[in-house]
């Protein structure tokens, strides 16, 4: 507990009041400039604001201290203990494995699932089904609740007051289904802290990447898995008898795992998603190192989109301006999304080794064995260890892309009938 408090205090007191004020003002100006740039689809409107934010983030990194890599100081705010020299080789290897995988799946030219194109799904029924999903995965509705918002999020006041939101779209039910499962993963973590740690710094998550591992685990490894829908698809079909009249379990499973490169990160499937993160990480690192002028950011973005995903944004709004993170100079956050995916796969592989009947349990609609395992091995420990140390204590190994790539190759090789 003392270690956690000392770390937070040390990082805070190193920042002079002048810099804190300047950052707050620059973030407000950056957000306004970003909104205007998105409206006009012209990055040039945002460029001066981003340059100012970058200068301040460099000053912040120097004030907080680093060993020659400014990005480390910013990454520390989201992923304590992680460093560029540890992170870059893993994300680079992951990128280089995913690019040919995406190309191979694209060569199959699978049609977009018809049940996700132009059909209407009553939002009231969607809401009822998301509440069913929350109960199914073990989210405690006596100690939390779910509401509706434009973009799903989780807000934890206390382990006994965890609030989630989901999004309802009448023509895109995955927004509700997987938005709820994603936020439920975050919420389950928050509800799982040991009571003895409540109201102390130990009742917190070691890193944003580890927090994201839980949302990704429930959204993708469980929620996009066939076993989970063996028990839940019949009820889904009853909820939407017309829209799903011609869809069976296997068709539904294939549809929710359709792979296609997309311009927008938040719309990306689990095969292409980490390429979006690799692009952003590489550009952030280059800008902070003064290796990439901000004026060249749009062209560098588009070049990587072509190289990694084979597509080019038609304008800056669908390209370099799509995320809000840079509007307030939030460098160092994007890698936590990929760390979440990698940690999730490693944890799920370990859970399957410890629980040989896990897939059969899920097919029966029973998630209690998985949740119990996560509670005992991860949630209840809070911030007693840094993220990678906690993962190593659970799985026997730290950060690796092996489990994630094995998962993708097995799952999508079977779905697409090819060897990956």
- For 166, which DSSP code? E
Residue 158 β-bridge partners? 161
Report residue 18 CA to chain centroid gap: 33
Catalytic residue check, 142: no
Calculated CA dihedral for residues 317, 318, 324, 328, nearest 10 degrees? -50
Burial class (CB in 10 A: 0-12, 13-18, 19+), 325: middle
- Torsion sign across C-alpha atoms 184, 187, 191, 193: positive
Taken as a whole, the chain contains a residue count of 420
Q: Which two tokens stand for residue 349?
A: 């592989």
In b/e form, how buried is each residue of 62-98, taking b as 16+ CB within 10 angstroms? eebebeebbbbbbbbbbbbebebeebbebbeebbebb
Contact, 270 vs 27, CB < 8 A? no
Ramachandran quadrant class, 400 (left: phi over 0; alpha: psi -120 to 50; beta: rest)? beta
Burial class (CB in 10 A: 0-12, 13-18, 19+), 159: buried
Choose the catalytic residue: 69, 79, 107, 183.
183
Residue 148 β-bridge partners? 166
Catalytic residues: 183
């Amino acid at each position: 507990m003392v270690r956690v408090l000392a770390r937070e205090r040390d990082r805070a007191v190193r920042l002079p009041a002048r810099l804190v004020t300047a950052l707050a003002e620059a973030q407000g100006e950056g957000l306004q400039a970003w909104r205007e740039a998105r409206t006009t689809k012209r990055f040039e409107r945002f460029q001066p604001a981003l340059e100012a934010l970058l200068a301040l983030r460099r000053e912040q990194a120097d004030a907080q201290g680093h060993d020659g890599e400014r990005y480390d100081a910013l990454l520390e705010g989201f992923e304590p203990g992680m460093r560029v020299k540890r992170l870059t080789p893993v994300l680079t290897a992951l990128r280089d494995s995913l690019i040919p995988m995406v190309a191979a799946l694209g060569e199959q030219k699978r049609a977009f699932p018809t049940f996700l194109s132009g059909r209407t799904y009553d939002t009231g029924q969607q809401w009822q089904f998301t509440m069913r999903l929350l109960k199914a995965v073990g989210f405690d509705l006596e100690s939390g609740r779910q509401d509706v918002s434009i973009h799903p999020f989780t807000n934890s006041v206390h382990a006994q007051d965890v609030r989630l939101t989901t999004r309802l779209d009448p023509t895109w039910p995955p927004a509700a289904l997987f938005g709820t499962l994603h936020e439920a993963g975050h919420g389950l973590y928050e509800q799982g802290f040991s009571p003895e740690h409540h109201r102390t710094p130990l009742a917190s998550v070691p890193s944003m990447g580890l927090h994201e591992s839980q949302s990704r685990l429930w959204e993708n490894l469980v929620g996009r898995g066939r076993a989970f829908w063996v028990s839940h698809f019949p009820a889904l079909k009853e909820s939407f008898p017309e829209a799903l009249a011609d869809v069976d379990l296997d068709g539904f499973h294939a549809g929710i795992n359709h792979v296609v490169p997309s311009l927008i990160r938040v719309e990306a499937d689990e095969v292409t998603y980490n390429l979006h993160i690799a692009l952003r990480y590489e550009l952030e690192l280059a800008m902070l190192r003064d290796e990439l002028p901000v004026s060249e950011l749009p062209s560098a973005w588009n070049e990587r989109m072509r190289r990694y995903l084979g597509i080019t944004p038609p304008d800056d709004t669908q390209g370099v301006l799509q995320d809000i993170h840079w509007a307030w100079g939030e460098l160092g956050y994007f890698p936590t999304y990929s760390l979440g995916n990698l940690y999730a796969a490693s944890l799920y592989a370990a859970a399957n080794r410890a629980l040989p009947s896990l897939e059969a349990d899920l097919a029966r609609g029973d998630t209690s064995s998985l949740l119990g395992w996560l509670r005992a091995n991860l949630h209840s420990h809070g911030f007693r260890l840094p993220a990678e140390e906690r993962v190593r204590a659970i799985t026997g190994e730290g950060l690796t892309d092996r489990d994630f790539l094995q998962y993708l190759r097995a799952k999508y090789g079977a779905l697409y009938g090819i060897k990956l």
